[in-house]
Structure 1
Amino acid sequence: MQPVEDARARILAAFAPLPAETVNVAEALGRVLAEDLTSRVTQPPKNLSAMDGYAVRAADVAEAPVTLRVVGDVPAGSHYPGALDVGEAVRIFTGGPLPAGADTIVIQENATRDDDRVTIHQGAAAGTYVRPAGLDFTAGQIGICAGRRLTSRDVGLAAAMNRPWLRVHRRPRVAILATGDEIVLPGDPLMENQIVSSNGFALAAFVQACGGEPLHLGIAPDDAAALGDMIDGARGSDMLLTSGGASVGQHDLVQDVLRRNGAEIDFWKIAMRPGKPLMFGRLGNTPVVGLPGNPVSSLVCAAIFARPAIARMLGQESPVPESARAVLGCDLPANDRRQDYLRARLETDGNGKQVATPFNKQDSSMLTRMARADCLVVRPPEAPPAKAGDAVEIVPFGGGHLEI
């Protein structure tokens, strides 16, 4: 059986960043930058007022109170055409550019206006309430680095940098094929000994959450000819995810049919729980990840192996999410030779520590436990017994780490 880290490394080696395409900044959320994004403008372009008040020379208000002559008004979007002289002030509003000669802002609460005169009751040092030109960024400065998956904050920054078009990596097209005579689509008539299919829908949602484009091929029956025809539908995609039938039992046909269709199989057993019968190979130019048919095992394996592969194709700088740490909320027994991924709730204690508490039942048939989990607690092979309060590695769900 392949250790998890070795298997993930072999899978990742089969993938590379996809070519770049150009998208409008309004459609860039969730896309991954293919090149560093530099600003086309300086922001702010000039020294601006950060408050409503009066633009003055700091030297004129060094000894307050003092009365100055008001020579103009500068709302945002306007400017004072002249230069401020000794003893002069300009009424200014937030976002307004400072007149030439002005170097500080006296807020309106510290001034009293009387026609064209203003009395300054409290002085202000040079630079007070002034946003200097280039405070945020300057033209030519890199604002967002290549390999970043764009958030709403990044989209706003790109727009502010006057970049209406962005170069991003193409979304990976991931074909998804569920197998088994016993599964039917939600809402279809349910015969005796049949179960409702969830894997295809969960994996399609998973691929979308990771930034890919799912291509749902449907449910393949346990028939070699029909399965082969449906597998052919994955040719040309960037990855094929199969669910079920990846083992070598009498009714597990996926490996055999893939081989008949010219696929090369690299490995098909992983030293992990849940998810031992995981397969990896290549069908022509399309890498194939054969996930277990059990819904929980399928999603856990997708999180550990398919997610990094999609991230690599998207050009993300670190395809494997950085491991997080928490403390255990309960005792755990010693582990066997398979790496364990325990569904767990994640809470923050009174000291600000994250506490991961695995569910007491970890049966891989329990999809409700998967839906209610906040993370997976990772137990290495042959790990000794652990006590509540011990530090453990976790795979968080959501929160910028992983959405499944």
Structure 2
Amino acid sequence: MSGFDTVLVVDWSAGKRAPKRPSKDAIWLGLTRQGVSNDPVYCRTRAEAEAWIADLIATEGRAGRRLLATFDFPFGTPAGFARAVTGSDDPFALWAWFADAITDAPDGSNNRYDVAERLNALFDGPGPFWGKSHRDRWPGVPYRKEGIRFDTFAEKRACDAVAKAASSCFQMAFPPTVGGQMMMGLPMLHRLRALGGVAVWPFEDTTDAPVVLAEIWPGLIEEAVKSAPEDEIRDRAQVRLLADALARLPTEELAAEMGNLPDAARVEAWILGARIRTRLTALASTTAPPLRNDCFALPPGVHWTPVEEALAHLRAALTPVTGTETVPLAEALGRITAADITARRANPPLPNTAVDGYGFAGGRDAGLHRLPLTQARAAAGDAPATVPEGHAIRILTGAALPQGVDTVVLQEDTVIDGDHVSFHGPIKPGANTRRAGEDFAQGDTVLPAARRITPADLALLSAAGHAGVPVRARLRVGVLSTGDELVEPGADVAPGQIHDANRPMLRALITAFGHSPVDLGRAPDDRAALRRTLDAAAPQVDAILTSGGASAGDEDHVSALLQETGTLNLWRIAVKPGRPLALGLWDGVPVFGLPGNPVAAMVCTLIFARPALGVLAGAAWEDPQGFDVPAAFTKAKKEGRTEYLRARIRDGRAEVFASEGSGRISGLSWAEGLVALGSEARQITPGDPVRFLPFASFGL
């Protein structure tokens, strides 16, 4: 069995129209496509949900993605019930019976209790269906289960026992209302099955089916659901976590779970995952917020954190926080792919010629060859013609090879004599042609997930047949400067004040990284004012960069506030320029507290914040590309800290700025990159190799 590209988990409802505002006890749809978890969809009515699911089936089919669609109501009933109702053990006969019997109005009102009463009349004694919304209505449906005897068939199916499900398909009211959900769900499944390409597990062979429908029970992962955010609607969390868990289940494990079922499953159905409850719970539990309160924490006792250790810890701790969307190719430059993207068509789609010349079938031995020419001509864009055996055709670069042509001789190597072409061999079969799909075949992955799209990628996507591309939403990064000494650029300054150089620089860096900067302005050295600024910023952004106030002094309010939230990790990083880097969370939003000095702020942003923000945005971790070049300077470097010197390349050598002082902002403008010197002591003289990191390798 092949795996699934897309997993859908449906939490169904038998009730009337749900409120406009997302709520519990309604219909929720969880979707994970190619490993990417989508925001769950809330549906107010069954008709709306069915239309959404049918559209999803069509969409995934057009994209060539295999879909596993799962639903949280019984697909079958205990053995014997279907035969008593339809005269057959075929579960699909019961589906058709319910499709004919059930009526469902646009507002969600329906006749499920009438149908339960009609079914109960087929059996002696009360039941088997019980439970109703009004004690004085539907006299044929008992209000409670007491007195119902399940002697003709069992109350529960074999899979209900294995999954330890609390209720049965005969319970119509008092949550969980499984019987009502089944009655309102089976007609929908009956219609979906008629769409084509849809197979139902375990009733049918689903080995190669493009769409597989299966029964699930979210209660299997209840322990994982308990760890979901407190403010998340429980039904929403269930479908989100279960879709992720099923998508993460390795293909061979899913195949094993869907195989080797008891005989009863062919009649009663089976709950997918019933035998691997612990495994699914573990997979669901791996879905966690992008950052934990201790995600920046380092081992106790660490005083000076090496740069490599800090980067490794960041890389391991972060996960994407952005959602997904599909954008046209014209808007995709610089965006991050949300999933692996496969080719919708091969490139080239047909065999074609690589040169201007004359085409014919087969190669030719040494010697002179003279072939009659057809009157037709093949050019790029022409429908392939047919060339008679032993004839040649005029063919131009890029033209699809006509029928009867597999070899092309260069125009420069031929002589035209009336209606014949002459040339000397030898020439190999297939010469000067391109095979269909020699670049990539239909279905090949042309771009991986987590890749930042380049102009060349746009050409590749277009050739692969894509008009749009699934991408991550842009990461919103707040930029905040702190300090009483700061005024806006160009404003009048009083003694002791300086213009804010960090915010313009950091906003530009965020834009260059492909994210969306959000200007949070300036905050004074006032803890209450800074708290209000962060409170207002958190709902608007996905991450925050602050500059200043990140150390442990009296006026270092950023680190002090993060300390109050219990999320602060004040790293004393063995780096120059820099050292203090405050990392933490504010109302769940990652905060990078940068040094206030512009040189240190820029270096820390490039080295630490840039790759971290990339991961939060959905990209792969990106280390800057460095090059070993000869030094054009002399330096006695002490042991202990990794140093980044402002540098540029002249005559193939790395020059460094005249002063290493971090207050010399002009050196940032002068530089074209950084020279990185490791933590070991070094005596550098002109000509010694040093590592140069051009600003271009940081995306600048």
What SS does structure 2 have at the residue aligned with 1:73?
strand
Q: State percent identity of aligned pairs.
A: 38
CA distance change for structure 1 residues 161 and 287 in 2, over 3 Å: closer, same or farther? Answer: same
> Aligned pair 1:152/2:427, yes or no?
no
Q: Indicate which of 649, 670, 678 corresponds to 1:380.
A: 678
**Aligned-residue offset at 1:317:** 3.0
Question: 1:241 pairs with 542, 545, 550, which one?
Answer: 545
Task: Give the conservation status (yes or no) of the 8 Å contact 1:263–1:283.
Answer: no
Q: How does 1:265-304 map to 2 (within 5 A)?
A: 265-304=568-607
Judged with a 3 Å threshold, the aligned counterparts in structure 2 of structure 1 residues 319 and 121 are, in CA distance, closer, same or farther, namely: closer
Question: What CA distance in whole angstroms lies between the structure 1 residues aligned with 2:458 and 2:680?
Answer: 46
Asked if the contact 2:371/2:392 (under 8 Å) is kept, the reply is no
8 Å CA contact 1:106–1:120 kept in 2: the answer is: no
Which structure is larger by alpha-carbon Rg, 1 or 2? 2
Cα distance in 2, alignment partners of residues 281 and 39 from structure 1: 41
1:41 to 335, 341, 345: 345
Return the offset for 1:202: 0.8
Q: 1:23-172 to 2 correspondence within 5 Å?
A: 23-59=327-363, 63-86=367-390, 88-113=391-416, 115=418, 117-123=419-425, 124-172=427-475
State the structure with bigger RCO (CA 8 A, min sep 6), 1 or 2.
Answer: 1
Write out per-residue CA displacement over residues 217-270 of structure 1, whole angstroms, 9 at most, x where no aligned residue.
Answer: 00111222222211212313322111012223333322223445x352111422
Task: State the partner residue of 1:397.
Answer: 695
Shift of 1:366: 1.4
1:369 is aligned, of 664, 667, 671, to: 667
Aligned partner of 1:360 in structure 2 is: 658
CA distance in 1 between partners of 2:370 and 2:316 (Å): 72
The 3 A distance-change label for structure 1 pair 11 and 69 is closer
CA displacement at 1:274 relative to structure 2: 0.8
| Aligned counterparts of 1:291 and 1:11: Cα–Cα separation in 2 | 15
- Partner of 1:5, secondary structure, is helix
* Alpha-carbon offset, residue 152 of structure 1: 0.4
Partner amino acid, structure 1, of 2:478: A
Cα drift, residue 343 of structure 1: 1.0
TM-score, normalized by length of structure 1? 0.90
- One-letter identity of the residue aligned with 2:348: P
Is 1:190 aligned to residue 493 of structure 2?
A: yes
Whole-angstrom distance in 2 between the partners of 1:59 and 1:229: 79
- The amino acid that maps onto 1:329 is A
Q: Residues 239 and 85 of structure 1: is their aligned pair in 2 closer, same or farther, counting only changes over 3 Å?
A: same
Instruction: Report the residue type matching 2:435 in the other structure.
Output: P
- SS of the aligned residue for 2:630 comes to strand
* Distance (Å, rounded) in 2 between the aligned partners of 1:390 and 1:60: 59
Bigger Cα displacement from structure 2, 286-295 vs 58-67: 58-67
The offset of 1:336, in angstroms, is: 4.4
C-alpha distance in 1 between matches for 2:374 and 2:364:
13
**C-alpha displacement of 1:297:** 0.7
Unaligned runs of at least 5 residues, structure 1: 350-354
Q: CA deviation at 1:200?
A: 0.8
Q: Secondary structure at the match of 2:580?
A: coil
Residue ranges of structure 2 left out of the alignment (5+ in a row)? 1-303
Of the structure 1 ranges 176-185 and 290-299, higher mean CA displacement relative to structure 2 is found in 176-185
Tell me the amino acid that sits aligned with residue 607 of structure 2: I
- More strand by percentage: 1
CA RMSD of aligned residues (A): 2.3
Q: Provide the rounded CA distance (Å) in 2 between the counterparts of 1:327 and 1:226.
A: 50
Alpha-carbon contact 2:382-2:400 (below 8 Å) kept: yes
Given that 2:386 and 2:404 are in contact with CA atoms closer than 8 Å, whether structure 1 keeps it comes out as no
User: Contact between 1:37 and 1:144, CA under 8 Å: does it hold in 2?
Assistant: yes
Partner amino acid, structure 1, of 2:341: L
> What's the TM-score, normalizing by structure 2?
0.53
Equivalenced residue count is 394
| Kept in 2: contact 1:47–1:132 (CA 8 A) | yes
| Residues 126 and 257 of structure 1, relative CA distance in 2, 3 Å threshold | same
Of 136-145 and 152-161, deviating more is 136-145
Distance 2:626 2:664 in 1: 25
Change over 3 Å in CA distance of 1:348–1:150 after alignment to 2:
farther
Q: Partners in 2 of 1:211 and 1:343 — Cα distance?
A: 24
- Matched with 1:352 is none
In 2, distance between residues paired with 1:225 and 1:280? 20
Q: CA deviation at 1:25?
A: 1.9
Structure 1 residues 247, 140: CA separation in 2 closer, same or farther (over 3 Å shift)?
Answer: same
